């Protein structure tokens, strides 16, 4: 069962995502999580291209810690979640997990910190206020439903 305030993005495992044994190559979980974060932002109305052009900001992974528990395989349908843990002035801490569609067990989980950067200088910059407000609302909703 998924938590309130958690964004879910479906990902199909393609042949190119696997090693010679048909198991998802470990680094590809980072790609799956990246796609989910991109779609999480888009679902809130903040496309990354628009943020770069309009607000002058981009996001970059500052820290990633993953725990691999069980393998995903070729042609699996996965559900990749994004849950906000903290929204600071220039960074966001997220919890992400990958599960096989229709199953309970987590295949891979991660804690990711993304930094908001100036599109030109790549220096830390404050998260645009509208986005920060929306993220903080998600955190409040998640805490209320625990």
Q: Which residues are catalytic?
A: 19
Who's near 77: CB < 8 A, 6+ residues apart?
Answer: 10, 11, 12, 13, 100, 101
- Cα 141 from Cα 146, distance rounded (Å): 9
Whole-angstrom distance, CA of residue 134 vs CA of residue 4? 15
Q: What is the DSSP letter of 9?
A: E
Tell how strand 91-100 and strand 106-118 pair up: antiparallel
Cα separation, 73 vs 26, in Å, equals 11
- Which alpha helices (DSSP H) does the chain contain, by range? 28-43, 48-50, 129-144
Quickly tell me which residue has 């980072």 as its tokens.
Answer: 30
């Amino acid at each position: 069962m998924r938590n309130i305030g958690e964004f879910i993005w479906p990902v199909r495992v393609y042949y190119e995502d696997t090693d010679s044994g048909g198991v998802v190559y470990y680094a590809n979980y980072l790609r799956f999580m990246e796609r989910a974060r991109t779609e999480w932002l888009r679902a809130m109305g903040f496309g990354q291209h628009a943020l770069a052009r309009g607000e002058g900001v981009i996001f970059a992974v500052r820290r990633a810690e993953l725990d691999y528990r069980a393998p995903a395989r070729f042609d699996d349908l996965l559900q990749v979640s994004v849950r906000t843990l903290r929204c600071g002035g220039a960074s966001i801490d997220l919890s992400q997990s990958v599960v096989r569609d229709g199953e309970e067990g987590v295949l891979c989980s991660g804690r990711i910190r993304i930094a908001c950067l100036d599109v030109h200088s790549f220096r830390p910059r404050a998260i645009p206020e509208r986005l920060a407000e929306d993220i903080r609302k998600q955190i409040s909703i998640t805490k209320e439903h625990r």
